[in-house]
Every structure is written in structure tokens, then in C-alpha cells.
Amino acid sequence: MLDKSENTLEATIQRAKKGNQIAFSALLDRFWNDVYGFQLKRTHNENDAEDISIQTFSKAFDKIHTFDEAYEFKTWLIAISKNIHIDLVRKRKKDVLDTHGGNNEAAKKVLDDAPTVEDRLITEQNLATLLQYIKKLKPHYQEVINLRYFQELSYSAIAEQLDEPMNNIKVKLLRAKKLLAEVIKNRS
């Protein structure tokens, strides 16, 4: 059974390398708790752990073509996560305000706008009920949901407004939609 799981993981990674949104979502779902748990132990701060986890998946999706199947995918993610944390600690020690301007050209291929299962579940909800569910999310997830679905901003407009890389916005939206769908399922 382990072989079947590994083959499925390998196939999912291959689809992600080709830009498949469902594959990215599956990888995020499968490994989020591992990366987040690792960072929570390192940072002892839920917000930092969540921010670093979002950046980890953003960077991993941007650089997935560099992943070598000879290694464990989880190990690769943890290494990315660890490096992001080290960079964060260095930046904080130097007290340098770094503006986000990096290379985000590959960000456009991370996710497309095709509706997901979570999107359909979210749009089927009564607006008042949906707003109550959204209020159960953390503020930064509420913000990206609001900007994307209520103000109907593009990913790039949200990234510009929040002064964050577009990949981070895409990962945050993916995570926010999943969490919102879980809230809706648990309440229905």
C-alpha cells in the first residue's frame, strides 16, 4: 500500500510540475500540517508559522520544476521552510525593511481561475451565512477572501494592495478557501 501512495504522490508532483492546479492543491492539503507543525515548533508563534508555511508553499510551487524525485517531497518542503525561517530571523536581527519586489514571473502559472470544489461550496451559501463563516477565519484569510470574491480583484491587484508576492496571495487564497469550506461542511 505504501508503494501505491508513493506512486500517487509522484504522479501528483508530475502534474504539479505541469502547472495543474488540482495537483498543487493536493500537495498543499497533504503537506500543510507537516510544514506548519515544523514551523510552530521552531517559532513558537502561530502567525509566524502560518506566514512561513504560506511562503514555503509559494516558493515550492514557484520552483517545483527543480524538485528532484530522488528525495522526499516532504523533506524538500521542510528544507525550504527552514531556509525561509532563517532568512526571516536574519532580517529581523538586522531590522531591515525589505520591500517585496522579487522575481514572480512564474507565479502566474501556479494556479488558474478554474472553480474548485471549495469555490462551488462557498458560492452555494447564503450571503449572510457565508459572511458569518468567513468571520470564523483568521483576519488575513478574511482579507484575501474579501478582496478576491467581494471586491473581485485579480491576484495581481490583491498582491499590489497587500504588498505581497502574487504566489503568497495564491497560496493564502487556496488555504483560505479550504478552511472556509471546512467551516461550511462542519456547520451544514
Mind listing the pLDDT tens digit for each residue in 1-38? 444 555 699 999 999 999 898 999 999 999 999 999 99
Q: What is the reported pLDDT for 86?
A: 85
What's the confidence (pLDDT) of residue 90?
77
| Confidence grade of residue 120 (pLDDT, cut at 50, 70, 90) | low
Cα–chain center distance at 62? 11
For the stretch 62-107, pLDDT in tens is 999 999 888 899 999 998 999 898 888 877 766 534 444 444 444 3
Res 184 pLDDT > 70: yes
Return the axis-axis angle of helices 73-94 and 46-62, rounded to nearest 10°: 120
Provide the whole-model pTM: 0.64
Q: What is the pLDDT of residues 131-165, one digit of tens each?
A: 888 899 999 999 998 898 888 888 889 999 999 99
Query: How many degrees, rounded to 5, is the angle at CA 50 between CA 40 and CA 55?
Result: 115
Please give the residue that has the higher pLDDT: either 73 or 108. 73
Phi-psi region of 152 (alpha: psi -120 to 50; beta: other; left: phi over 0): left
Helices then strands, each counted (H, E), the chain: 9, 0
Q: How far apart are CA 183 and CA 188, in angstroms?
A: 9
Can you tell me the distance from the alpha carbon of 60 to that of 161, in angstroms, rounded to the nearest whole number?
A: 23
Instruction: Say what the pLDDT of residue 133 is.
Output: 86
H-helix segments, 18-145: 21-43, 46-62, 73-94, 117-123, 127-134, 139-145
